Amino acid sequence: MEHVQESLLIETEHEELRKDYTGDGSVNLKGLPILKHESGNWRACYFILGTECCEKLAYYGITKNLVCYLTRELHERNVVAARNVLTWQGTCFFTPLIGALVADSYLGKYWTIAAFSTLYFIGLVMLTISALVPGQSTQTQTVGFYLGLYLVALGAGGIKPCVSTFGADQFDDTDPIERSKRASFFNWLGFFVNIGALLSGTILVYIQDNYGWGLGFGIPTLFMGISIVSFFIGSSIYRFQRPGGSPVIHICQVIVAAFRKWTVQLPLDSSLLYELPGSSIKGIRKLDHTSELRYLDKAAIIIPSDIKLSNGNPLDPWRLCTVTQVEELKVMVPLFPIWATTIVFAAVCCQTLSMFIEQGMVLDKQVGFFTIPPACCLPLTSPVF
């Protein structure tokens, strides 16, 4: 009887100990299990929110008045300046794919943010130095400016998909109380993003137009430095999720594997398709097989050459995919038409950073004794879009 009571007591203690740790597999910076009361939650998110606010002030401090700098300081024609702004903006929205791939497959969100933030800061320093050079712009100055500008695009895009998800990682998904706080975090994240954008679109734009571009680019550089410092200060209390593989890579694997087996006949019994006993990615549940888009199921057909080529090693995911991987792609396929409809809207919306401001440059901007900077129209047009 005493032995049973002792066993129950030990089991109870172990259960209480498990409750002290996060249940979603998160770890600390050293890769060790982490205690709930010492990490994550709002205590960690304060640093992340401060990081995002300062970063957005820096980003929009460059973005919103960029066309004015290109036309006034680099003496580009309106058409050329508008094209360069839109090309750079498009790069900013493409590079998040790189950041997401690096974070999901290799470095994890924390180190991806750290690495790309450093590139971001270096790019801003180069912009500031190029703007401080006196006299007419030279070819060397222009090259240095554009090199810095595209480093900013790489850095900004690299951290874009990581900051919000890293903030979400600070709340234990297995704890109902912490899970309910996650939605509140995203609300505050949007608030601080817009605060940074508002300050850059009003005060910072005015400084750039009236006090010079060296100071106008130096302030975003300073705030990006503050953003990096704020992020690293919270390192000891952050919760980290280990990289689990990129969804983009998984989609490509399904397409390649299905194409390689395009001549193979599908089995009538879907249970013969390849699937692992558990999820291939921690935290991602398995999906049941569906009958839609049957061609993609060929990626999960097991053929003798797959086993032979593996030679006792894990099967090549570019030749054989799980049913769950195939179903993930099937879920995404119907979303592509919806995504395509946003292209026209995005093409028009992007003109606010180029053609709209160029139109504002030729308008009468005098209101009493105050001259409104052309880029200040953006805080007014943003709610419309």
Q: Is residue 357 in a domain?
A: no
Count of domains observed in the chain = 2
User: Which residues have a Cβ under 8 Å from the Cβ of 105 and sit 6 or more positions away?
Assistant: 243, 245, 246, 249
Same domain membership, residue 213 and residue 153: yes
Q: Which domain holds residue 292?
A: 247-333
Closest CA to 186 of 158, 167, 161: 167
Same domain membership, residue 68 and residue 117: yes
Q: Is residue 373 in a domain?
A: no
Q: Is residue 349 in a domain?
A: no
pLDDT digits (tens, 9 = 90+) for 231-248: 999 999 999 988 877 888
Q: How many CB atoms lie within 10 A of CB 360?
A: 18
Q: Report the C-alpha dihedral over residues 18, 20, 26, 28, rounded to 10 degrees.
A: -120
Cα→Cα distances 330→100, 104, 144, 233, 280, Å = 21, 21, 45, 42, 17
Same domain membership, residue 233 and residue 280: no
Same domain membership, residue 126 and residue 149: yes
Q: Is residue 9 in a domain?
A: no
pLDDT digits (tens, 9 = 90+) for 155-173: 999 999 999 999 988 998 8
Backbone angles phi, psi at 370, to 5 degrees: -105, 135
Q: Is residue 199 in a domain?
A: yes
Q: Is residue 55 in a domain?
A: yes
Same domain membership, residue 197 and residue 48: yes
Same domain membership, residue 258 and residue 225: no
Mean pLDDT of all residues in the chain? 84
Same domain membership, residue 251 and residue 238: no
pLDDT digits (tens, 9 = 90+) for 175-201: 888 888 888 999 999 999 999 988 998
Of 305, 333, 361, the position where a domain reaches its end is 333
Same domain membership, residue 283 and residue 234: no
Q: Which two tokens stand for residue 13?
A: 């203690």
CA–CA gap between residue 64 and residue 56 (Å, rounded): 11
pLDDT digits (tens, 9 = 90+) for 333-352: 888 899 888 888 888 888 88
Judged by DSSP in three states, 364 sits in coil
DSSP 60: H
CA–CA gap between residue 139 and residue 7 (Å, rounded): 78
Q: Is residue 364 in a domain?
A: no
